[in-house]
Structure formats: structure tokens, C-alpha cells
Amino acid sequence: MKIFGENVFNDAVMRERLPKATYKSLHKTIELGLPLDPAVAEIVANAMKDWAIEKGATHFTHWFQPLTGITAEKHDSFISPTNHGLVTMEFSGKELIQGEPDASSFPSGGIRATFEARGYTAWDCTSPAFLKEDGGTLTLCIPTAFCSYTGEALDRKTPLLRSMEALSKQALRVLRLFGNTTTKRVISTVGPEQEYFLIDKKFFDKRMDLMLTGRTLFGAMAPKGQELEDHYFGSLKTRIAAFMHDLNVELWKLGVLAKTQHNEVAPAQFELAPIFETTNIATDHNQLVMDSLKKVALKHDMVCLLHEKPYAGINGSGKHNNWSMSTDDGQNLLEPGQAPHENFQFLTMICAVVKAVDDYAELLRVSAANPGNDHRLGANEAPPAIISIFLGDQLTDILEQLQNGKINRSLQGEKLVSGVKTLPAFQKDSTDRNRTSPFAFTGNKFEFRMVASSQSIAGPNVVLNLIVAEILSQFADRLEQAPNFDKALQELLKETATNHKRVLFDGNGYSQEWVEEAAKRGLPNITSTVDATLVLTRESTIDLYEKHKVLSRTELESRYEIDLEQYSKQINIEALTMINMAKNMIFPAAVNYATQLANSINAIKSASTAVDVSAQEELLKDVCSTLVSFKAKLSTLEKDTQAATTITDAYKQGVYYRDVVFTAMQTLRIDGDQLETMIDAELWPLPTYAQMLFLL
Ligand code: ADP
Ligand code: MG
């Protein structure tokens, strides 16, 4: 396909345009994670510039991922003045490698205030540079890490790269024990499935809540919801199909392999899955996917909603983070093969993941926490806030055999019989699906399903890489010392399978029984972002991150502060938006309608005393009494929101926003939605759920 990767300075382009020695040196850095030779950067910069200019680019930018969760850019022009009043197009190695954006407004959790105000961006040559089109301008985007003057990470990429190093180091130790002498590097791979909603722009533009907060703060349920599930895998409407076609072209140009796309369970909800890649690149690409979704939707007069819960009462959006480990020579370490019970390297990796997830469930939980996801996790929607693992029949059986110390079989999938002779009978997968599990083994990878739809996938993958690295290091420590490897391994696997079976669960993760059962098993159940953040600054967390050099104490403390601050800010914006809509839109609409009713009652009464106006009177009474209650709740929300801003302790403030302000918002919404169901549709100032969800 010609357009695929057209706008990417990828391996093929580099091979073609770089001198052999330079290409080789850069390739080594990329493939083996070796330090970058500065002389190489000068040559690469020049080649990159020529390529970009030939394609029509005039500007370049260091593209980075500050802790706001979105990407940031600072555009510079290639143009350099000469002393003859002319210009040349310049781009030096230094400009490629390092940038100094004026980035003092990005969150740093106090790091830069204490040390030094400057922030630096540094070229991440392991993720390919690309050209981005914005309003007719082509810009060369150079993926970079963002650090403070003193080297503290101020972004999401730096810890991700560090965690990949840590995983590679520890996994290699284990592979060597299994006699592997050739693998040079272990990389984690990720394929994130992205869910999103689309809404017609004309409705979006009338919803201040969607514009400012990403979700509807008011809105009565539509008469039809998702109960028929007729949207799921339904045929795509023409308008959506056209959008998806454009989206694919856009993504293919950027080198993103968007593969599958279909309708989701909720109306107006869709999903896109790319083909998996190295975690670092998959993370950059997911940012580009989110970016492109928004941009392309606008071209089709739609708006893409990435919020985790745009509509109350309708399934929200998430990301399924498919994760595995692979060697530089192409071996997927989570591939069971035909006889997994004989594949001890595979079983060791599986046991490591099981132990990691059980030991560090809370870290995984915090990695998926954001205010939007609070509406899903632990709030009666998929998946639960409790971390458990679904392994499927085959692996569950093997882990049981490991516990018994006798391992001699792998259950095989049965034939699927459809009952129709003309249909082929095929082998069922030996791992069935369990859609309610937050962490499921799906054939040759794990699928972490808690991740929030709007968040960067960097955080969750930092945790996955880090916790598995830690357990692999514990395994290696033990096995390297053992006089008899086979015996020590058997013991280790038996012990691990026995000690961590509590985290395995293949039942219905959405049920109340599971919540109770999980509590009995001692599994953590953290239901809110505010509580989840506490895990970040625990001594055991700091020890773990520092041991593997992924984040320092200072960096973790800064992230803790930023997470809490962003939570409070988000709820504050939601509360203020709600107050505004309540006062300036809903209240006046209700008053108008009440007046209309009153006028009608008076008019009818004066026309004839023989007419029964009790229906209108009753309605007028209901509207007015709801309005009284609405007004009282509005005052409470205003008072609570005001009070929240006076709390200085970040954690206490977060708790107050969650327990008091958020609760007041929910209470106010009940009356607002009640009014919507009473009032003349002509007078209602907001597009309804039925319009937003079903008119695409
Ligand atoms: P399903 O969810 O039906 O299994 P796929 O097999 O297409 O669908 O996988 C879903 C996602 O998992 C895709 O993005 C795919 O690229 C990704 N994936 C597949 N294999 C791996 C792997 N080894 N590592 C990481 N992600 C993977
Ligand atoms: Mg999936």
C-alpha cells in the first residue's frame, strides 16, 4: 500500500537516505537500546530535514507528552537568515537532539519550582519522526522526552522508556537461565483498542458541558438506550463509514496500522484497534490516534468524545491494553505453543505476571485512575475496580497441576459444532473469553481492560513493565543461586501458583457476589481516583520504582500532587459548568414553561369557567415544586464548590470534591433531569440524549 507510512521517517527511509555507517549506528541504538552517538545526530538531522522539506514541511517541532495527558508541540521554522539578507533551510543535530520549550506552564508537581525553571526535550530516536498536517501546514514532529534541568522526568515517555529498560534487563536474566544465549533485548509490545463516541457537531455546539468537561452533566435518559444491543457489530452507517475511511487514510500515512473497527455496545460508540507494536511506539501512536479521531471527526461535522463516560446510563469508553513481551529475535514470551504444560519458560513468564498482578494490584489500579474512569470502575460498570486475572480453562488447569506438583497435560479446545452440516466445524480456542475480567489472558497476550479511554497508555504500561520486571528479578535472584535449576524452578512455580491463586477469577466480575468474595480473599478494591493516588507515595512503591530506576521519590511525589490537583480541578470545572447551565439555561426554561402554563390556565379560566384545567394546574404545581428543590440544591452546590477552593491540603481537597461537591452535583442533576421530562420540548435549551445518541 503506497500511502502507508508515507509521512514517517521510518526504517526504510533511513536506510535509503543515510550513509551506511550512520544507518547502522542509529539502528543499533534503536534495536539494542545503546547510547546515541552525537556525530550520528548531525547527519540524521540533515537527512530528516531534506526529506521533510521535499515533502513540503516548513516547520519542525519537538513533540512531547507532558503530565497533562495530551501532547504538546512548539513549532520552529527551518528557516535561518544568512548575512546576505537571504534565508537557508537549516536543522542541526543539536536542534534534533535537544529542545528547550518554554514549558513552565506544564504541571511539574513542584519539581521545577524547587530546582530550576527550565524544561528540556530530548530526542527519542526509538520512535520514528513523522509529518503532521494541520490546517495546510506540514510539520516535522520529533518524538521527545521532557525533563527538568536536573534530569527529573516531567512527562510520560521518560518513565516508560526506563521501565522498558528494566523489563529487558530482568527478562534477559531469566531467559539466560533457560539456555537462551542469543537474545539481546526483550521488549514489551502493546496493541491498545480505543473506544470513542461520535456526536453530530450541531448538537455538541449546544452543550456547554460537553465542550468544557467532555461529558453531559445534565440529560434525562432517552426512551431507548442500549438494551436492544442492536448497535453492537451492526452495519456501519454511510456517514460513519466515510469518517472511518478518512481516519484510516490519515492514520496509515502516519504509520499507524489501524486494523479493525466496529460499532460498540452503546449507541454512537465505536472502537478502533491497531496492530500491536513496541510499547513506546504504540504509546506515541495511540496519542496520534486520539488526535486524528478528533481532527477527522470535525471534517465530517462530528465531534469525537474520548471521555470515559459522556452519557449517564450508557456504557462508557475504555481502552483495552493488550500487552506481551517479545525478544528482539521475534519470540513472543507469552506464546503457549501446542503443549504449554511442557513449556517451562512460558509457565515461568505466566507465573511472573500472575504474581506481579497480585502483589501490585493497587499500582495497576492507580495507573488507570482518572476522574472520568471513576464513573466506570467500581461504579457498577465494566470492569470492576477489583483487579483479578482470567486465565481460561487450559492455563487454570495447568496452574492447578503446578500446585499439585505433578504436571502432565494441556487441555485442548473442543470442536465447535454449529448443528448445521454445511458449516465447517472448527477448533474452539482453548481460552474462552471472559468479558468481565479486568485482566485476561487472551491466547498469547494479556489484556488489561481498566485503562481509561482518554488517558495516555504510558502510565499503565510503565506499571506493567515495572511490576513484571520486579518479579522476574526476584525469580532470577533465586534461580541463579540454585544448585539444581530444574528442581528450584519446579518449587518456585509451585509456590507461586499456590500463593497467588487468590487473584485468579473466572466468574462474573460485575456481580455483587464477587465484591464480597474478593474482600474475603483480601483483594484490594479501590473505588476512586483520590484513594488510588495514595498508593503512589507509599514507601513500598517508592522502593520499587527506585530499585528499577523508573521514577525517583521526588518524581513520584510530584506525580501524586499532579494527579490530585488534576482531579480537583476537573471536578471544580464540572461543578462550575453545572452551576452555569442550571442558572442560565435550565432555570429560565423551567420558569418560561411555568409561566406558559399559568398564562394558559388564566386564559382558559377567563374564557370559560366550565373547563377543567386541573391537568395544567397539577403540572404547574409539579414544575414549580421541582424548581424549588432544584434551586435549593443549586445553592448547596454553589456553597460546596466555594468551600472546596479554600482547602489547602491536596488530598483533603480531593476527598471533599469527591464526597461533597460531586455528590451535590449528582443530586442537582436528578432535579434537572426531572425538569427535562416535564417541560415542553420546544423550550428545552439542550439537545436531548435521544438526539445526541441516535442522530448521526
Ligand atoms: P481479539 O481482541 O479478538 O483477540 P486481536 O487478536 O486482533 O483481537 O487483538 C486485539 C489487539 O491485541 C490488537 O490490537 C492486536 O494487535 C493486539 N495484540 C495481538 N498480539 C499481541 C501481542 N503479542 N502483544 C501485544 N498486543 C497484541
Ligand atoms: Mg479486546
Last residue of a domain, one of 551, 580, 606: 551
- Residues 376, 317 contacting (CB under 8 angstroms): no
CA of 566 to the centre of ligand 1 (A): 32
Q: Residue 289: CB within 6 Å of ligand 1?
A: no
Angle at 485 between CA 483 and CA 489, to 5 degrees: 125
Region 489-513 average pLDDT: 94
CATH of the domain at 272: 3.30.590.10
Q: Which domain holds residue 625?
A: 568-694
The amino acid that residue 315 corresponds to is N
- Which residues does residue 81 pair with via DSSP β-bridges, in sequence order? 87
**H/E stretch holding 455:** none
CATH of the domain at 633: 1.20.120.1560
Q: How far is CA 233 from the centre of its chain?
A: 23
CA of 227 to the centre of ligand 1 (A): 28
CATH of the domain at 127: 3.10.20.70
DSSP three-state, residue 456: coil
The amino acid that residue 236 corresponds to is L
| Alpha-carbon radius of gyration of the chain | 28
Q: Residue 320: CB within 6 Å of ligand 1?
A: no
Which of 118-132, 231-245, 572-586, 637-651 has the lowest average pLDDT? Answer: 231-245
183 and 71 fall within a common domain: no
**Interacting residues of 31 by C-beta distance below 8 A, sequence separation 6+:** 184, 185, 328
- Residues 298, 201 contacting (CB under 8 angstroms): yes
449 and 321 fall within a common domain: yes
Reply yes or no on whether the pLDDT at 648 is more than 60.
yes
Whether residue 560 lies inside any domain: the answer is no
pLDDT in the model for residue 342? 93
CA proximity to 354, closest of 340, 334, 335: 334
What share of the chain in percent tops pLDDT 90? 75
Residues shown for the chain: 696
Please tell me the number of the ligand nearest to residue 443's CA: 1
Each residue's pLDDT tens digit, 600-621: 999 999 999 999 999 999 999 9
Give the pLDDT band of residue 434 (cuts 50, 70, 90). confident
CA of 365 to the centre of ligand 2 (A): 19
**H/E stretch holding 23:** helix 20-32
Reply yes or no on whether the pLDDT at 411 is more than 70.
yes
145 and 222 fall within a common domain: no
DSSP 308: S
Q: Residue 636: CB within 6 Å of ligand 1?
A: no
pLDDT in the model for residue 533? 96
Q: Residue 278: CB within 6 Å of ligand 1?
A: no
One-letter-per-residue 3-state SS of 156-221? CHHHHHHHHHHHHHHHHHHHHHCCCCCCCCEEEEEEEEEEEEEEEHHHHCCCHHHHHHCCCCCCCC
- Residues 366, 536 contacting (CB under 8 angstroms): yes
pLDDT in the model for residue 231? 59
The amino acid that residue 188 corresponds to is S
Label residue 133 exposed, middle or buried (CB < 10 Å: 0-12, 13-18, 19+).
middle
The neighbour count for residue 347, using CB atoms within 10 Å, is 23
Q: Residue 248: CB within 6 Å of ligand 1?
A: no
DSSP three-state, residue 574: helix
Reply yes or no on whether the pLDDT at 382 is more than 70.
no
Whether residue 6 lies inside any domain: the answer is no
Please report the atom of ligand 1 found closest to the CA of residue 323: 25
Test site for ligand 1: of 445, 451, 461, 465, most ligand atoms within 8 A of the Cβ:
445
121 and 178 fall within a common domain: no
94 and 178 fall within a common domain: no
Reply yes or no on whether the pLDDT at 587 is more than 50.
yes
CA of 448 to the centre of ligand 1 (A): 12
Bond from prior residue into 38 cis (ω within 30 degrees of 0): no
Q: How far is CA 409 from the centre of its chain?
A: 38
Give the pLDDT band of residue 383 (cuts 50, 70, 90). low
Distance in angstroms (rounded) separating the CA atoms of residues 486 and 344: 10
Each residue's pLDDT tens digit, 634-647: 999 999 999 999 99
**H/E stretch holding 141:** strand 137-148
- Which residues does residue 143 pair with via DSSP β-bridges, in sequence order? 63
**Do the strands 98-99 and 79-81 form a parallel or antiparallel pair, or are they unpaired?**
unpaired
Last residue of a domain, one of 494, 517, 551: 551
Whether residue 262 lies inside any domain: the answer is yes
- Which residues does residue 144 pair with via DSSP β-bridges, in sequence order? 123
Please report the atom of ligand 1 found closest to the CA of residue 193: 14
Q: Which tops the pLDDT comparison, 304 or 135?
A: 304
Reply yes or no on whether the pLDDT at 429 is more than 60.
no
Q: Which tops the pLDDT comparison, 77 or 454?
A: 454
pLDDT in the model for residue 28? 86
**H/E stretch holding 650:** helix 650-656
Reply yes or no on whether the pLDDT at 266 is more than 90.
no
CA of 209 to the centre of ligand 1 (A): 35
Give the pLDDT band of residue 425 (cuts 50, 70, 90). low
395 and 258 fall within a common domain: yes
Region 569-598 average pLDDT: 98
DSSP 552: -
Region 669-685 average pLDDT: 97
pLDDT in the model for residue 114? 46
Residue 6, CB-side half-sphere exposure with 13 Å CA sphere: 15
CA of 447 to the centre of ligand 2 (A): 7
CA of 451 to the centre of ligand 1 (A): 15
Reply yes or no on whether the pLDDT at 269 is more than 90.
yes
Region 480-499 average pLDDT: 96
Whether residue 658 lies inside any domain: the answer is yes
Whether residue 240 lies inside any domain: the answer is yes
The neighbour count for residue 326, using CB atoms within 10 Å, is 22
The amino acid that residue 671 corresponds to is D
Whether residue 277 lies inside any domain: the answer is yes
Please tell me the number of the ligand nearest to residue 451's CA: 2
- Which residues does residue 146 pair with via DSSP β-bridges, in sequence order? 121
Q: Residue 261: CB within 6 Å of ligand 1?
A: no
Last residue of a domain, one of 155, 189, 204: 155
Whether residue 256 lies inside any domain: the answer is yes
φ, ψ for residue 674, nearest 5 deg: -65, -45
Q: Residue 331: CB within 6 Å of ligand 1?
A: no
Q: With the C-alpha atoms ordered 511, 516, 521, 522, is the resulting torsion angle positive or negative? A: positive
Q: Residue 322: CB within 6 Å of ligand 1?
A: yes
**Interacting residues of 158 by C-beta distance below 8 A, sequence separation 6+:** 145, 146, 147
644 and 540 fall within a common domain: no
pLDDT in the model for residue 95? 85
294 and 330 fall within a common domain: yes
DSSP three-state, residue 665: helix
**What is the separation, in whole angstroms, between the first and last Cα of the chain?**
31
Please report the atom of ligand 1 found closest to the CA of residue 273: 14
CA proximity to 142, closest of 181, 92, 186, 84: 92
pLDDT in the model for residue 115? 46
Beta strand segments in 413-475, E: 415-416, 426-427, 439-441, 446-448
The neighbour count for residue 46, using CB atoms within 10 Å, is 17
Q: Residue 336: CB within 6 Å of ligand 1?
A: no
430 and 523 fall within a common domain: yes
What the block records as the C-alpha cell of 271 is 472502537
Reply yes or no on whether the pLDDT at 318 is more than 60.
yes
Distance in angstroms (rounded) separating the CA atoms of residues 442 and 438: 12
Please report the atom of ligand 1 found closest to the CA of residue 276: 16
582 and 484 fall within a common domain: no
Q: Which tops the pLDDT comparison, 151 or 683?
A: 683
CA proximity to 264, closest of 290, 237, 300, 226: 226
Each residue's pLDDT tens digit, 52-66: 999 999 889 999 998
Please tell me the number of the ligand nearest to residue 324's CA: 1
**Interacting residues of 148 by C-beta distance below 8 A, sequence separation 6+:** 108, 111, 112, 115, 116, 118, 119, 120, 154
What the block records as the C-alpha cell of 540 is 513500598
CA of 439 to the centre of ligand 1 (A): 14
Distance in angstroms (rounded) separating the CA atoms of residues 454 and 588: 34
Nearest CA to ligand 1 atom 11: 191
**Stated pTM of the model:** 0.93
441 and 330 fall within a common domain: yes
CA of 267 to the centre of ligand 2 (A): 18
Q: Residue 435: CB within 6 Å of ligand 1?
A: no
pLDDT in the model for residue 5? 92
Whether residue 559 lies inside any domain: the answer is no
Residue with cell 539456555: 179
Distance in angstroms (rounded) separating the CA atoms of residues 467 and 454: 23
The amino acid that residue 477 corresponds to is D
Q: How far is CA 545 from the centre of its chain?
A: 21
223 and 98 fall within a common domain: no
**Interacting residues of 137 by C-beta distance below 8 A, sequence separation 6+:** 58, 59
Nearest CA to ligand 1 atom 4: 442
CA of 279 to the centre of ligand 1 (A): 13
Domain count within the chain: 3
Nearest CA to ligand 1 atom 13: 191
Region 240-250 average pLDDT: 93
What the block records as the C-alpha cell of 356 is 506481579
What the block records as the C-alpha cell of 336 is 503457549
Give the pLDDT band of residue 78 (cuts 50, 70, 90). confident
Q: Residue 431: CB within 6 Å of ligand 1?
A: no
- Residues 121, 62 contacting (CB under 8 angstroms): yes
Nearest CA to ligand 1 atom 17: 191
